[in-house]
């Protein structure tokens, strides 16, 4: 028990860093869900592209890292935008479920594309600033600070976008009542386009900040974790994504840590934390921690 407590600062630091990545992915899920009602199963693949593009531009093409990062974000945003125009827009008269199933297809396609272009299991993306920082009781890579900073900035930008800008307010109106949004003159299909662009860009930040490794295979794992974070916090809610991401990130460190150090059970169960958390939340509080529940009158 003493050992566990002594390790706690390290667990908290790791949990915070992972939680930030989950927050970014979860916000991507939320943005698309809010403006279209679609759960985008290709959200994790946006992160995959972010990491692989950053590798290709910074390492293969030899660009400076900041430029490579910006281009990778832009390129992934473009992929999101293309996905919306080529796949989601033509399905606008179909049911939401049809579009959701189509996103599963997109995720498989993206993953295969990633595997064809970058066949190795892992590519090392350079850290933004190499090295470690020693804190009392924990050592963290400098990269953690970047992840934290990028997440805070992203959350603030998303918040300001939705509360202060015209397009953001229109997207919020779509999420509250799609039909009414149409009737006040909001171009719902354009909002859908923006949402995929924005979600892809956010997803790519998660992928390229999540150094040191990029791989075609990270999409599924990040997608599941981000989705869990979004649902745990309350689907569609920006601060819910923050809450869900942090809760998931911390539990994923603390629970296996506790099991290993105190109970002597192997840590092979880390991946189960997200699934168990997801199932528990869906059973006990399906609207999520910050969700308001279904109060809408029909």
Partner 1 sequence: MLEISNLSAFYGNIEALRAVDLWVRAGKITTIVGANGAGKTTLLRAVSGLIPTRYGEIRYVGANIANLEPHRIVRMGISHVPEGRQVFASMSVEENLMLGAYLRSGRRHAREVKKDFDFVRDLFPGLAQRMHQQAGTLSGGEQQMLAIGRALMSRPRVLLLDEPSMGLAPMVIKDIFACLRRLHEEGLTILLVEQDAQIALSVSHYGYVMRAGKIRLEGESSELLRSEDIRHIYLGEDAMLEG
Looking at beta carbons only, is 182 or 250 nearer to partner 1? 182
Under 8 Å between Cβ of 87 and 155: no
Euclidean distance between CA atoms 249 and 298, whole angstroms: 37
Euclidean distance between CA atoms 105 and 215, whole angstroms: 19
Q: Which of 120, 136, 283, 296 binds partner 1 (CB under 8 A)?
A: 296
Asked if 284 touches partner 1 (CB under 8 A), the answer is: no
Asked if 182 touches partner 1 (CB under 8 A), the answer is: yes
Alpha-carbon distances of 186 from 28, 72, 99, 200, rounded to whole Å = 21, 30, 21, 22
Looking at beta carbons only, is 62 or 93 nearer to partner 1? 93
Token pair recorded at residue 39: 């759960």
Asked if 218 touches partner 1 (CB under 8 A), the answer is: no
Classify residue 268 as exposed, middle or buried by CB count within 10 Å of its CB (0-12, 13-18, 19+). exposed
Looking at beta carbons only, is 40 or 175 nearer to partner 1? 175
Asked if 263 touches partner 1 (CB under 8 A), the answer is: no
Point out which span in 33-41, 50-58, 154-162, 179-187 binds partner 1 (CB under 8 A). Answer: 179-187
- Contact partners, residue 195, CB within 8 Å, separation at least 6: 31, 32, 34, 35, 36, 84, 171
Q: Which of 186, 198, 206, 273 binds partner 1 (CB under 8 A)?
A: 186
Looking at beta carbons only, is 180 or 276 nearer to partner 1? 180
Mapped onto helix, strand or coil, the DSSP state of residue 130 is coil
Q: Could you tell me how many residues of this chain bind partner 1 (CB under 8 A)?
A: 24
Asked if 180 touches partner 1 (CB under 8 A), the answer is: yes
Q: Which of residues 18-47 bind partner 1 (CB under 8 A)?
A: none
The helix or strand, by DSSP H or E, that contains position 75, with its residue range, turns out to be: helix 65-83
Contact residues for partner 1 (CB under 8 A)? 93, 166, 169-170, 172-173, 176-177, 179-189, 292, 295-298
């Amino acid at each position: 028990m003493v050992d566990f407590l002594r390790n706690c600062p390290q667990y908290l630091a790791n949990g915070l860093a992972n939680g930030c990545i989950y927050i970014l992915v979860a916000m991507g899920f939320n943005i698309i869900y809010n403006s279209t009602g679609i759960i985008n199963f290709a959200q994790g693949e946006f992160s995959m592209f972010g990491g692989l593009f950053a590798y290709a531009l910074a390492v293969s093409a030899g660009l400076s890292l900041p430029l490579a990062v910006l281009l990778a974000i832009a390129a992934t945003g473009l992929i999101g935008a293309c996905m919306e125009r080529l796949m989601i827009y033509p399905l606008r008269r179909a049911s939401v479920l049809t579009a959701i199933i189509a996103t599963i297809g997109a995720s498989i396609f993206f993953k295969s594309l990633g595997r064809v272009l970058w066949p190795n299991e892992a590519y090392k993306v350079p850290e933004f600033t190499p090295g470690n920082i020693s804190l009392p009781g924990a050592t963290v890579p400098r990269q953690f600070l970047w992840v934290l900073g990028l997440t805070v900035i992203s959350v603030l930008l998303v918040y300001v976008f939705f509360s202060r800008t015209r397009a953001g307010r229109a997207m919020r109106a779509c999420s509250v009542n799609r039909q009414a949004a149409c009737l006040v003159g909001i171009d719902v299909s354009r909002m859908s386009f923006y949402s995929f662009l924005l979600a892809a860009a956010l997803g790519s930040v998660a992928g390229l900040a999540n150094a040191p490794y990029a791989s075609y295979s990270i999409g599924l794992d990040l997608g599941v974790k981000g989705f869990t974070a979004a649902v745990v916090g309350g689907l569609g809610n920006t601060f819910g994504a923050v809450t869900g991401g942090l809760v998931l990130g911390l539990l994923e460190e603390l629970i296996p840590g506790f099991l290993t150090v105190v109970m002597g059970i192997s840590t092979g169960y880390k991946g189960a934390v997200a699934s168990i958390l997801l199932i528990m939340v869906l059973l006990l509080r399906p609207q999520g921690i910050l969700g308001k529940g279904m109060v809408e009158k029909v």
